Structure formats: C-alpha cells, structure tokens
Amino acid sequence: MKIMIAEFAAAAFVLFARAITAVRAIWPEHGLPSRPSVYFANHSSHGDFVLVWAVLPPRLRKQARPVAGAEYWLKSKVSTFIGRDVFNAVLIEREQEKRTQDPIALMTTAIDDGSSLILFPEGTRNQTDARLLPFKSGLFHLVSARPDVDLVPVWINNLNRVMPKGEIVPIPLICTVTFGDALRIAPNEGKDAFLERMQAALLALAPKPLGSGE
C-alpha cells in the first residue's frame, strides 16, 4: 500500500511541476547516457531537483536519486515519506560533526547499485546576483572514487522566479532544463582544475544575459 501511495505521489509531483512551470527540456545532441550518471545542476530553489527529476524520461527517472540534506527531509513524517519513499533521495547529514555516515560512501553505494544522482555542487541555494556560487569539493571526491561515471551538466532556468524566496504560492512561468553532453574526470586532473572545468561546462548552458552581444 505504501509503495502504491509513493508511486501515485511521484506521478502527481511530475504533473504538478509540469503544469506550474510548463517546463521544456533541452537535450544534448547525443542524448543522455543510459548508464548510471551524475546530473549536476545550478541551485536557486527548493524545487530544483523536482524539475530535473520530472523532465527525465521515465526509464531514467526511475533510476535517478536526488542528493539532499537529511536535516530538511527528516524533520517530519510527511517530509520523510516524500524524501525517502517518493523521491528515494540519498539523504546526507550536512553538519559534519553530527555525521554518522560518510556522504561519499552513500553516493558511491547508490551508483554501484545502478542509480544515477541529481546533485548541486554549489552546496546551497544561490541567493546572490552571481550566476553560480563556487563549487564545493564533494563532486570531485565522488568522481575520484568513481572516475568512470558520466557527469551531465544541467542548467535550470527561471525556477527561482516561479518560487521566489518567502513565497508560498508558485508564480506560473515557463522554465527550461538544459542538459549538456556527458563529461568525465581526466586522468590525474587536480581538484581545482576539475571544478573549474565543471563550472565552465554548466555556465555554457546558461542563457546569455541580455545585451551581452552574443
């Protein structure tokens, strides 16, 4: 019964996300990898992972697990059910001193089990005027442990305007989710060079600012 409710709730989330945002997915020329991958995206709204998850083809959506903060999703029975049962999230304890499990081990286990991950290398929602916050090192440590995993950059556009900070009722706007070509960590690539390259790949998918002349 619980599984049926979770499946119904998942379908409802997909329909709701698409209805509110009229989301349009833009796919890379060669399509998305069929093997377990890491989708890494910009982060400006609590609804970011829902939008990425909702636009994935059903077969890929089934294997995709968002990486999210345990403190946020385990704070009530309802949010726990949504996080664990509906989205099958990989729940990470963000406060290092209170951690009982290694976040990298949790993510590599999910990949080894055949799951893809949806994660946000900025680590927190970007509420600044900058297009991206500096990437945290987690993505580097993850792919250092699993260097054969495909890394797919994903740019989410407009969702921060659909759900502005402090607002409860979404504002209907068209959103786009743009997927880039799959990348890999290069042999002997250092952390700073790798993170800089991943940031550049993600920014390359962002709409050009008005008046940029491009």
Spatial separation of the C-alpha atoms in residues 129 and 50, rounded to whole Å: 23
CA distance linking residue 195 with residue 83, whole number of Å: 28
2-203 sits in which CATH class? alpha beta
Of the candidates 182, 159, 156, the residue with the CA atom closest to the CA atom of residue 170: 159
pLDDT tens per residue across span 91-126: 998 877 778 889 999 999 999 999 999 999 998 888
pLDDT in tens, 4-42: 888 888 888 888 877 777 788 999 988 999 999 999 999
Q: How far apart are CA 151 and CA 143, in angstroms?
A: 9
Q: Is the pLDDT of residue 56 over 90?
A: yes
User: Reduced to 3 states, what is the DSSP secondary structure of residue 97?
Assistant: helix
* Residue 110: closest CA among 123, 125, 91: 91
pLDDT for the residue 164:
47
A 10 A CB-CB count for 61 gives 15
Looking at residue 159, its pLDDT comes to 56
Q: What is the mean pLDDT of the chain?
A: 87
Q: Is the pLDDT of residue 205 over 60?
A: yes
Task: Report the share of the chain in percent with pLDDT over 70.
Answer: 90
